[in-house]
Amino acid sequence: MPASVLEGPWDVVHRLADKVIMKTLAISGLLAVTLIWAASPVSAQEVEKPEEPVVTSDYQRDANEPQVVITADEDATFYEYRVNGELREIKVVPKVGPPYYLVPAPDGWVRQDQSQLRIPSWVIFSW
């Protein structure tokens, strides 16, 4: 058919349908290849395990913040609060009963119902 002859409406529809089908098949093929590649197992030789854990935090603990050491016993859990390395108080949380605090005194330890440890904490902004 010469180029100067106009095509019928069905010829245009068939050409557009062929293009749509070809694009659909191409996209489906790419999707299938991608899914197969993504589902392929990674061998143990390809993955390197680091010798030591990698630490990326730049966090520096404030010297004025208390250091808390938690130890558990069969009867209670103990929270040791230290400030600058000095043991300031021990919070005792028994399995049965309310928690209490042991505070050092000149003649041993004194039992308190509330914490005696005071750390400055100011509200800078709230909403």
Query: 19-50 burial, b for 16+ CB within 10 Å, e for fewer?
Result: eeeeeeeeeeeeeeeeeeeeeeeeeeeeeeee
Query: 4-15 burial, b for 16+ CB within 10 Å, e for fewer?
Result: eeeeeeeeeeee
* Residue 122 CA: distances (Å) to CA of 83, 109, 119: 19, 30, 10
For 19-31, what is the mean pLDDT?
A: 83
For 114-126, what is the mean pLDDT?
A: 71
For 73-78, what is the mean pLDDT?
A: 90
Highest mean predicted confidence (pLDDT) among 3-7, 18-22, 62-66, 68-72: 68-72
User: pTM for the complete prediction?
Assistant: 0.45
